[in-house]
Structure 1
Amino acid sequence: MRYIIGSDKYHVVGNWNGIWKAQAPHKARHLLWCLCRGCLPTRSRLLQRRVECTLNCPVCDDEIEDELHIFFRCAVARDSWSAAGMSSVLHNATYQQTNAMNRIFAVCSNESSDTVGRVTMLLWCIWHNRNDNVQMPRQIGRHAFDAWNDLYTVHKLQSNIVSGTTDGDLLRWDKPALDWVKCNVDVAFVSGSGRTSVGLCFRDNSGHFMTGMTQWQQTVISSVEGEA
């Protein structure tokens, strides 16, 4: 294994540590690794592997789909970068290399792990949508933005716990009083769908799950109204 890893035949020079240190889910970092290793099944790559398929981008159908196009040059991808608030990175003169791998390595070398994480999450969302092709660019960008912020919040909470945060500083679920049942509610809004999702969970005074429910409502209301 050491011989294979060290062999020039298999080694690709680049900032691989920058990819693995990105503040992003592992699935997104793995996508970045596949992109830089030339493993993503874009249509141009599939054709190289003798898979019969059309070459045009499945999202815009305007140009040949390779890594550079699907993530950086496709109109949907560019609008998604804008919706995620990452246009300054996309158009930065430092990151205009002629292939996707070198662009990624340049971003990893010059940006913070947080920014690299945002970019990584956005690329994962673009690729995910490329396979499903169901979302508008603003939805892709917003999903990437929200997913990264959720991840950041969890990491921040975990780091606070490790650094010595006391139990009194954390919000914890409390059991209801004897002979009482507690119902916890959460509401989510699906942008652009005109629908609100509601989830309910009932527990007894021992904290044991009793029953639950999920439901769609055909309207978009405020979080206060929804949870009420």
Structure 2
Amino acid sequence: MGGGKEWVLFWKHHVAGNWNGIWKAQAPHKARHLLWRLCRGCLPTRYRLLERRVECNLNCPVCDVEIEDEIHIFFMCAVARDSWCAAGLSSVLHNDAYQQSNAMDRIFAMCSNESSDIVGRVAMLLWCIWQNRNDKLWNDNVQTPRQIGRYAFDAWSDWYSVHKLQSNSESRTTEAGLVRWEKPALSWVKCNVDVALVPGSRRTSVRLCFRNNRGQVMAGLTQWQQTMMSSGEGEG
């Protein structure tokens, strides 16, 4: 009987949805975890707190105009909407396919229709919106929508570039014919170049490393190029 009760309890709390789409999103774990909490109804918005019988002011801490629920703080608040635009995601926000009445259905719809990169950018933006809300609530600090959107984009781009480099490095080490770095000839310097393309950003990340004939690092450089180019062009 005990096992049967546990089985019923499990399915009672199961929520159907595209959970794999959340965990496959190309974003830091903290951002994907926020999506999970949002879809599980775990974020302590003021409306959610009232549902849990916690007495509090219902107005949004950021705009102080509307009731703060998940839809308002992430999708309808003027600051949030302008942040989507600043992050280059306004077309996702206004997409007719993502106008469901609750945040969970909107997130699941995005996970089903958008690439894992776009879902990752959305996750990072929502995380930044939530952090800004908390900073305003507890510290009375607030950022402009442009600051929120640009930080979300830059933070995601930096994470994506590092993640891509790590993935490429791991895949290379598993190849049967592993190509190892070789020292240059005496009095020569070798420059290794790696390029990462960030989809949808029209930016390219370029990294260079200079080493001498003893394999010692002499100099390095990391920079963003404000243009899109192929791997061959970037490395050239």
Is the structural similarity TM-score above 0.5? Answer: yes
Deviation at 1:160, TM superposition (A): 1.8
Alignment TM-score, normalising by the size of structure 1? 0.72
Counterpart of 1:158, as a letter, is: Q
1:82 aligns with 2:85: yes
Q: Deviations over 1:61-117 (max 9, x none)?
A: 111000000000000000000000000000000000000000000000000000000
Moved more, 4-13 or 82-91: 4-13
For residues 182-217 of structure 1, give each alpha carbon's deviation from its aligned partner in whole angstroms, at most 9, with x where no partner exists: 99999xxxxxxxxxxxxxxxxxxxxxxxxxxxxxxx
Looking at structure 2, the residues matched to 148 and 82 of structure 1 have their Cα atoms a distance apart, in angstroms, of 15
Kindly report which structure 2 residues correspond to 1:153-164, keeping only aligned pairs within 5 A, or say none.
153-164=161-172
Deviations 1:105-152 (A, max 9, x none): 000000000000000000000000000132110000001000110011
State the 1:7 CA deviation: 2.9
Partner AA of 1:150 in structure 2: D
Given that 2:210 and 2:219 are in contact with CA atoms closer than 8 Å, whether structure 1 keeps it comes out as no
Identical counterparts, % of pairs: 72
Tell me by how many angstroms 1:8 deviates: 2.7
Q: For residues 182-221 of structure 1, what are the structure 2 equivalents within 5 Å?
A: none
Cα offset, 1:173, TM superposition: 8.0
SS at match of 2:132: helix
5+ long unaligned stretches in structure 1: 187-228
Aligned residue in 2 for 1:144:
152
Corresponding position of 2:232: none
**TM-score, L = length of structure 2:** 0.70
Match of 2:74 among 54, 71, 75: 71
Partner of 1:201: none
SS in 2 for 1:8: helix
Contact 1:18 1:109 in 2 (8 A): yes
User: Whole-Å Cα distance in 1 between the matches of residues 50 and 123 of structure 2?
Assistant: 26
For residue 162 of structure 1, report the CA deviation from its aligned partner: 1.9
Cα deviation, residue 163, structure 1:
2.7
161 and 52 in structure 1: CA distance in 2 versus 1, 3 angstrom threshold:
same
Partner Cα distance (1:89, 1:112) in 2: 12
**Matches of residues 1-228 of structure 1 in structure 2 within 5 Å?**
3=6, 7-133=10-136, 134-164=142-172, 166=179, 168=181, 169=192, 171=208
Structure 2 residue matching 1:32: 3-state secondary structure = helix
CA distance 1:33–1:4, change in 2 (3 Å): farther
Looking at structure 2, the residues matched to 92 and 172 of structure 1 have their Cα atoms a distance apart, in angstroms, of 43
Report the Cα offset of residue 9 of structure 1. Answer: 1.2
Distance 1:5 1:131, change over 3 A: farther
Taking a change above 3 Å as real, the CA distance of residues 183 and 52 of structure 1, as seen in their structure-2 partners, is farther
CA distance in 2, matches of 1:22, 1:172: 30
Task: Evaluate the alpha carbon distance shift between residue 45 and residue 173 of structure 1 in structure 2; reply closer, same or farther with a 3 A threshold.
Answer: farther
Give the secondary structure class of the aligned counterpart of 2:11.
Answer: coil
Query: Does structure 2 conserve the Cα–Cα contact (< 8 Å) formed by 1:4 and 1:10?
Result: no
- The residue matched to 2:161 in structure 1 has which SS? helix
Number of residues paired by the alignment? 182
